[in-house]
Amino acid sequence: MNTPIRRLAFVLLAVLGLIVLDLTYLQVIAGPRYRDDLRNPRLAASRSSTERGPIVSREGIVLAESTAEPGSGQTFVRSYPEGPAYAHTVGYTSLLFGNSGLERQYAGELSSDSDLTISGIIDTLLGREQGAQGIRLTLSHPLQQTAQQTLGDQTGAVVAIEPSTGEVLALYSSPSFDPGVLLGESPIAGDALAADPGVPLLNRSIDQILAPGSAFKVITAAAALESGAANPDTLYSDPLELQLPGSTAVIRNADRGPCAEGTEVALATAFRLSCNTVFGQIGIDVGAEAIGSTAEAFGFNSEIPFDLDVVPSVFPTGSLIEDPPATAQSAIGQRDVQATPLQLAMVAATVANGGVVVRPYLVSERFDRDLNILSQTNPVELRRAVSPGTAAVLAELMEAVVESGTGQAARIEGVSVGGKTGTAEIPGEAPHAWFIGFAQSEERSVAVAVVVENGGNAGQAATGGTVAAPIARAVMQAWIES
């Protein structure tokens, strides 16, 4: 009987040995990976015992700061003085809920723990600054406040970009939340936020893609112009409804009538009045491949390089190539075409910038405790999306929209404003109201994208021109006049 008992002992001890090996792997070899996992609440806990650098707006308004807790030299409390206005962008560092936004992406720069890496030791020996760094954002406080006030309690998002540099001037998502409530020891407030049916934790400016509706016609027009098949004066037939080839489906205009007189209409007029019949036809003429490659040149179907993770916008070229009816519907921004507000703001910015796509960014500089600038972000041109000529024509087309078309609510006296409205039909729900555009004065320029989901307060009656354009106007004006 001793032999089996010996073997049994051997098996149990061998498994215990295996456990020691696994422990060595988990605690030492893979340990740093688990320790630094962003979901590990200890990260936030360890940071609360070290000072963290401030986050300030473009103007220097404090958006996040650490203050020493009275009576203890060891614990620092993070606070977010501007609360909901910057909640999604600045994010939070919470013991219970982890971290998000720039607080997460710049966790390393913001925390002051001088670690024992070789470079850390060398820096310490050389007396280099090891303290918490601060970061300055490109976000402008008046724009951010305007976005918050004009959206009000409507669900949606506002993005504003400086077209030539890519500085993001406003990035706001509504409904928002107060990141301060996530900092406490109790999970109740945070759980309530997570369960809120309005999904306030979702950053609608970059984390959600929606049908862009007619705002997408900027890209369809760009593809038509770039292909050389059309110019603003090219005439298209003006039917009451566009019969889609090989299909019983039709495309109608928003008012169920013809685009103009019902005979022939120029591309410029169709763009100004946002005629679906004409742009459906242009979509069929130009083809999914050309529209797709133009959309991709603007940034669709790939990840936008940004300080925060952005959901890629979608133009499903592959599934449209053999399908002219679907191509026609995609050309007017319906069906499976979906975009983030940031992506559409970049489209407007690219037009205003002469056709060159510039990398958007949020962090303009990092500074140390003594406010010495440690690094600055330089604008980066990513690629040319359309030729300077096409960009100029698109700008003119968009200016006509604001001057005498669907986007007149965005007009600002004495300033050159261009734009495109969008009213994305959602089956069974009120439409999403969009406005993308730009404003340029002698000194300043700005590009924006505004979306108000499901029509906002206007509900079924909402259009991009009535609901989103006034918000865009207010935001653009805040920048031009500041």
Partner 1 sequence: MSRNAEAALLAGAAVLAALGVSIVRAAGGDTPDAQTALTFLVVGLAFGSLHLAFRQWAPNASSYLLPLAALITAVGLVEIFRLDPRAATLQRWWLLIAAGFGIATLAVLGRFGTDLLLRYRYLFLTAALVTFMLPLLPSNWALGGVEVNGSRLWLQLRLFDTTIVRFQPAEFGKLLLVVFLASYLASRQPALVSMTRKVGPIVIPEPRQLFPLVVAWAASFIVLVYQRDLGASLLLLAVFASMLYAASGRVAYPLVGGGMFLAGTLAAAQMFDHVQRRFDAWLRPWDDFADTGFQIGQSLFALGSGSLTGSGLGLGRPDVIPSATTDFVFAAVAEETGLAGSVAIVAAYALLVAVGFGIALQARDPYRKLLAAGLTTVIGIQTILIVGGVIRLLPLTGIALPFMSYGGSALVANVIAVVVLARISHEVST
Catalytic residue positions, numbered: 214
Determine the residue type at 148.
Answer: Q
Q: What would you report as the CA-atom Rg of the chain, rounded to the nearest whole angstrom?
A: 27
Question: Quick check: 30 binds partner 1 (CB under 8 A)?
Answer: yes
C-alpha 96/C-alpha 174 separation (Å) is 24
C-alpha 452/C-alpha 463 separation (Å) is 10
Question: Quick check: 122 binds partner 1 (CB under 8 A)?
Answer: no
- Interface with partner 1 by CB under 8 A: which range of 27-35, 99-107, 253-261, 419-427? 27-35
Question: Quick check: 15 binds partner 1 (CB under 8 A)?
Answer: yes
Nearer to partner 1, 194 or 373 (CB): 194
The CB-of-6 to partner 1 minimum distance in angstroms stands at 7
Question: Quick check: 246 binds partner 1 (CB under 8 A)?
Answer: no
161 DSSP β-pair partners: 168, 447
Which one of 18, 121, 122, 461 is in contact with partner 1 (CB under 8 A)?
A: 18
C-alpha closest to that of 169 among 157, 159, 177 = 159
Nearer to partner 1, 28 or 371 (CB): 28
Nearer to partner 1, 75 or 404 (CB): 75
Question: Quick check: 116 binds partner 1 (CB under 8 A)?
Answer: no
Question: Quick check: 126 binds partner 1 (CB under 8 A)?
Answer: no
- Interface with partner 1 by CB under 8 A: which range of 39-47, 102-110, 383-391, 425-433? 39-47
C-alpha 71/C-alpha 76 separation (Å) is 11
**44-78: b (≥16 Cβ within 10 Å) or e:** beebbebbbbbbbbbeebebbbbeeeeeeeeebeb
The CB-of-279 to partner 1 minimum distance in angstroms stands at 42
Contact 219, 347 (CB under 8 A): yes
Nearer to partner 1, 25 or 374 (CB): 25
User: Long-range contacts for 102-105 (Cβ within 8 Å, ≥24 apart)?
Assistant: 102/55, 102/135, 102/137, 102/307, 102/308, 102/362, 102/363, 103/55, 103/64, 104/38, 105/307, 105/308
Question: Quick check: 184 binds partner 1 (CB under 8 A)?
Answer: no
C-alpha 405/C-alpha 398 separation (Å) is 9
The CB-of-208 to partner 1 minimum distance in angstroms stands at 19
Question: Quick check: 27 binds partner 1 (CB under 8 A)?
Answer: yes
C-alpha 293/C-alpha 281 separation (Å) is 18
The CB-of-75 to partner 1 minimum distance in angstroms stands at 11
- Residues within the interface to partner 1 (CB under 8 A): 1-9, 12-13, 15-20, 22-24, 26-28, 30-35, 37, 39-42, 45
